[in-house]
């Protein structure tokens, strides 16, 4: 028993020493991470995950970036994962959403400067008219019923001159905030995914780009009006926890996301349902 105990004690000591050396090695590795460490980015699958995968497969190696893509299907986890340090960055959201998320959750996630990549434009579709101005008086227009997209839809209608919103209305506008409605348009609020199916029942519908594409509607060819990507607050961007904006890996990815190659990939892949915003 005494010999066994001595052997066991010695083994434990060696094990502890090994663990200590390993830990030191791990510390050294983490301390030297910098530009050579993998950059893990959270994203929703389409189009963000697809764009990042294109960069990973075609552009990252040449740029000296080790990119890992982690996909999520919800709009909450990518931000909490960044805040908690589980991923380095995310790419899935626009500024009004991020502002609201930070306010409600006490997080400090920020957009990376000069890294706004794309817009998924809302478009107005109709089976009866070819121009918004051709809508008859009393026509019914379907709108997405979630806060962000309903406000976007109303602002799109305003920018095309068919309604006027109250002065100072922000990104949470509803039909109650309409100040002028010369055509006396009627509004039908529906879940965004249901809007393409509503086209046979309404005079026009404002539809998100991804849902339009799923319904074989081309934003470039079928929309009678669409959002412009220029100076649009709904552009999707690369985001990080505050203080990480200058990470050299983040800066490399920001450059790739706004490269001519990615712009061409977006144009060739999404048929106007996704528009480069740079």
| Domains in the chain, CATH or no CATH each | 39-121+233-276 (3.40.190.10), 123-226 (3.40.190.10)
pLDDT of 35: 67
Give the pLDDT of residue 200. 96
Q: Which of 253, 249, 276, 220 is nearest to 43 (CA)?
A: 253
Burial letters 146-158, b for 16+ CB under 10 A, else e: eebbbbbbbbbbb
pLDDT value for 212: 86
Q: How many CA atoms lie less than 13 Å away from 64 in the CB half-sphere? A: 7
The pLDDT of residue 271: 80
**Residue 10: predicted pLDDT:** 40
| Element of type H or E holding 71 | strand 67-71
pTM score over 0.75:
no
3-state secondary structure of 278: coil
The whole-number mean pLDDT for each consecutive block of 10 residues of the chain, a chain of 278 residues, reads 39 38 36 72 93 98 98 92 98 92 96 95 95 96 90 95 94 94 98 94 92 83 88 92 98 98 96 88
For residue 124, the model assigns a pLDDT of: 98
| Contact by Cβ (8 Å): 169, 107 | no
Q: CA torsion sign, 90 to 93 to 99 to 100? A: negative
Query: Token pair of 9, please?
Result: 């004690």
């Amino acid at each position: 028993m005494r010999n066994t105990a001595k052997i066991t004690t010695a083994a434990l000591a060696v094990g502890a020493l090994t663990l200590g050396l390993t830990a030191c090695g791990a510390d050294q590795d983490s301390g030297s991470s910098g530009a050579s460490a993998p950059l893990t980015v959270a994203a929703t699958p389409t189009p963000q995950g697809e764009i990042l995968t294109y960069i990973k497969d075609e552009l990252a190696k040449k740029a000296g970036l080790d990119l890992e893509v982690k996909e999520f299907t919800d709009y909450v986890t990518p931000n909490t994962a960044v805040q908690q340090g589980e991923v380095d960055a995310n790419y899935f959201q626009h500024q009004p959403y991020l502002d609201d998320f930070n306010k409600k959750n006490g997080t400090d996630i920020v957009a990376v400067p000069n890294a706004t990549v794309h817009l998924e434009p809302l478009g107005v579709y109709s089976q009866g008219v070819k121009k918004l101005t051709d809508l008859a008086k009393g026509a019914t227009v379907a709108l997405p019923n979630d806060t962000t997209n309903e406000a976007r839809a109303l602002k799109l209608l305003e920018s095309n001159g068919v309604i006027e919103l109250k002065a100072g209305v922000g990104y949470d506008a509803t039909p109650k905030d309409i100040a002028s409605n010369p055509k006396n348009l009627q509004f039908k609020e529906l879940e965004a995914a249901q809007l393409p199916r509503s086209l046979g029942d309404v005079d026009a519908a404002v539809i998100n780009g991804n849902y339009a594409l799923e319904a074989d509607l081309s934003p470039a060819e079928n929309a009678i009006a669409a959002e412009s990507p220029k100076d649009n607050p709904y552009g999707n961007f690369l985001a990080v926890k505050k203080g990480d904006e200058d990470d050299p890996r983040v800066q490399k990815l920001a450059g790739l996301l706004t490269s001519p190659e990615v712009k061409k990939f977006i144009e060739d892949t999404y048929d106007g349902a996704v528009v480069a915003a740079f």
